[in-house]
Amino acid sequence: MTVTVDQEASQDGEFPPSVYEWFAGQAQRRPGCTAVVQGDVRMTFGELHAGVVRLSEELLGHGVGPEQTVGLFADRSPGLVIGLLAILRAGGAYVPLGTDLPTERLAFMVRDTAMKLAVTDTGHERLPTGEEVRIVPLRPTSATPPKHAPARPDAPDPARLAYVLYTSGSTGRPKGVVVEHSGLSNYVGWTVSEFSGGAPVDTYLHTPLGFDFSLTSFFLPLVTGGTLHLAPREQEAEDLATAVQNPDIDLVRLTPSHIEMLTARLGDRHGLRGPRRFVVGGEILRARHLAALRRLFPDSVVYNHYGPTETVVGRCFLRLDATAGFHAGEYAPDDPLPIGHPLPRTRVTVDHVDERRAADGVGELVISGAGVARGYLNLPDATDKAFGVLPDGAGRFYRTGDLVRLDSRGRPVVVGRADGQVKIRGHRVEVAEIEARLCAVEGVRAAVVLKARDPRSALGAFVVLDASGPSGPDFGRLRSELAASLPPYMIPQHFSALAELPLTRHGKLDRGLLQDLFEKQAPASADRAAGESEAGQRDGLMREVCALCERVLGVRGVRPGDNFVDLGGDSITAMKLATACRRKGITVRSVRFLTADSLADALRGAEVSGAR
């Protein structure tokens, strides 16, 4: 049985088949207006368009054309904006190659897309993959647009490839999601209808382009004549907390994890002036997240925006206030909030094929319409399993794997997953990919990866090893092996060794028992050297910081010489630790915990007040 959540809505107006065409129109009408800002660097629409034209002509000279992928290997900068738009103008499809991704993962993306060309910026003059890829550098552009710009290439066919973004894959390899111009144009057109009203929109971009969550902030100002504010190349949580206290910004996108970061940084402050709108997505939004954001920024409107990468950024949307029939007082702090109604030209249905779940009113969310991707690159079986064509010829559909129930007003509420995917800081992760990587490490016979139940977001790994060293399992080696092929957010924070994996009486893996074990205790860091006295390990300031680190990360036995990232730390927990230190009178920037070799090194030069 299927239930239609809401009939697809119409979309007012027709939009160009390519977002580049839209941007070029703004550049022609507003050449002297500021298009991009990063720190003290400003670039007008005219300057930006001049750079785009020059680079795209160079790409065309290298043979870039329809369905051809071009890598984008650059840090967040005005040059990155030029590179992406130039690839689209030349008719190619961009592939974000994160400069922080492991070399093995980058090499796979290059091979999988048959990439022959990549645009790079200063400091990234070559791809560290060993693959044969021609490099086209981003060069400084003249402040004066050319008097006679080359003729604009023909607008691309809406069915042609616009970009490829990679998500985690259950087989141990990432999956490239193939998105066409029609889907991207449909989504950007909706953002203009919803947020612009004919006026320029200013946004703040602080997430990488490999996360399609970023596309809302990236394209909206460029197609409305607004200003795209870029976060620093190496943004810290402190920078985000400062940047969002700007009422001149129209829109900022956040994940619930970002809200937790802001709460940790800003503490008990309230009544701050912030952007006109916060659009939240990427993870399940809970009532406590909304309450925290409203306390910090009471005058900002908050929206819940849902959608997987396979359906172009987002497909459901809800303004979280009484004007949309939403009342926060109806929800307990950890209750998930409804994701709202479909975007224009989108249909959302709930498939109740699982009788056991259907009895509880839970079904799988299925999305169809203009925003559905073409499928997965070079993975026909995975594409056939997740995608399909509607029998009435009304387009394609995608089975999201997200389990939802309908609230009293008929709005979907995400309550879990039908498969092994989890969300970590807004990124969708297949735990099977991490398990496959662990099992490929020498000495690992079996591995199970779990995510802590909400509201925590930690990953934990249980491993069965062939043998252990004299000091116990070397979990540091496992982390290092994973870091060579996986991004930081996919590396488990906790490791535990078992003699054997537990089985149910039917002989299947007992994940429930392992989940309970994971939840009941914060696993000790078994790769700590044993036998050292507590007094010998910690003294004064360091002892206090190590104790704070244990509480933030949920580990035991932390020593001054330990590396924060190796302990399972990330940008969010680094922010929490820096905030906890500050409350104790110890001032240290969160980036120090992420970049220093050890906790002791992170605290070198830290300011200590008399408050302690």
Q: Is the pLDDT of residue 495 over 90?
A: no
Contacts 24+ apart (CB under 8 A), 552-556: 552/576, 552/577, 552/580, 553/493, 553/522, 554/458, 554/493, 554/494, 554/522, 555/493, 555/494, 555/522, 555/523, 555/524, 555/525, 556/522, 556/524, 556/525
At 534, the pLDDT band (50, 70, 90 cuts) reads very low
3-state DSSP assignment of residue 568: coil
Res 585: pLDDT: 87
Q: Worst-scoring range by mean pLDDT, 369-378, 421-430, 578-587? A: 421-430
Residue 46: pLDDT band with limits 50, 70, 90: very high
- SS3 string, 38-107, reads ECCEEEEHHHHHHHHHHHHHHHHHCCCCCCCEEEEECCCCHHHHHHHHHHHHCCCEEEECCCCCCHHHHH
Give residue 64's pLDDT band: very low, low, confident or very high (50, 70, 90): very high
Question: Would you state the pLDDT for residue 511?
Answer: 75
Determine the 3-state secondary structure of 30 from DSSP: coil
> Which residues, including other chains, have CB under 8 Å from residue 341's CB and lie 6 or more apart?
5, 6, 9, 316, 317, 318, 348, 411
Cis peptide before 158 (omega within 30 of 0): no
pLDDT at 140: 63
Three state DSSP letters for 378-398: CCHHHHHHHEEECCCCCCEEE
Q: What is the mean pLDDT of residues 133-141?
A: 83
State the pLDDT at residue 473: 78
Contact 281, 304 (CB under 8 A): yes
What's residue 554's pLDDT?
Answer: 77
Question: What domains can you pick out in the chain, each with its CATH number?
Answer: 422-520 (3.30.300.30), 539-608 (1.10.1200.10)
Give residue 530's pLDDT: 33
Backbone angles phi, psi at 418, to 5 degrees: -90, -5
User: Which of the pair, 450 or 117, is modelled with greater confidence?
Assistant: 117
pLDDT at position 535, please?
Answer: 36
Name residue 261's amino acid: M
For residue range 550-566, what is the model confidence (pLDDT) as tens digits?
888 877 778 888 888 77
Q: Using pLDDT thresholds of 50, 70 and 90, give the confidence band for residue 523.
A: very low
Question: Mean pLDDT of all residues in the chain?
Answer: 85
pLDDT reading at 37 higher than 70: yes
pLDDT higher than 90, residue 316: yes
Cα separation, 545 vs 136, whole angstroms = 46
- pLDDT of 537: 38
Place of tokens 């997240």: 289
Question: Is the pLDDT confidence value at 471 over 80?
Answer: no
What pLDDT shows up at residue 393? Answer: 65
Q: What is the pLDDT of residue 129?
A: 78
438, two tokens: 């662990």
Q: What pLDDT score was predicted for residue 456?
A: 45
Taking only the tens place, the pLDDT of each residue in 571-597 is 778 888 888 888 888 888 888 888 787
Token pair for 576: 């929490």
Whether pLDDT at 13 is above 60 = no
Which range (5-9, 203-207, 447-451, 553-557) has the least confidence? 5-9
Q: pLDDT at position 468, please? A: 66
Task: Give the Cα separation of 4 and 122 in Å (integer).
Answer: 50
pLDDT tops 70 at residue 78: yes
182 close to 162: Cβ distance less than 8 angstroms: no
What is the token pair recorded at 305?
Answer: 């925006």
- Checking if the pLDDT of 187 tops 90, the result is yes
Q: How far is it, in rounded angstroms, from Cα 77 to Cα 471?
A: 46
Q: What pLDDT is recorded for position 330?
A: 94
| Range of 153-162, 211-220, 282-291 with top mean pLDDT | 211-220
φ, ψ for residue 110 (rounded to 5)?
-65, -45
* Range name among 91-105, 231-245, 269-283, 312-326 with the lowest pLDDT average: 231-245
Q: Is the model's pTM score more than 0.95?
A: no
Strand duo 251-254 + 228-230: pairing: unpaired
> Helix, strand, or coil here: 577?
helix
Can you tell me which residue has the tokens 């696993």? 523
pLDDT at 531: 33
Q: Looking at 35-39, 139-143, 498-502, 583-587, which range is the least confident one? A: 139-143
Q: Are 94 and 163 in contact (CB under 8 A)?
A: yes
Tokens of 294: 């409203």
* pLDDT number for residue 556: 77
Beta strands in 476-522 (DSSP E): 494-497
Task: Return the residue matching tokens 């109806």.
Answer: 330
State the Cα–Cα distance between residues 383 and 45, nearest whole angstrom.
39
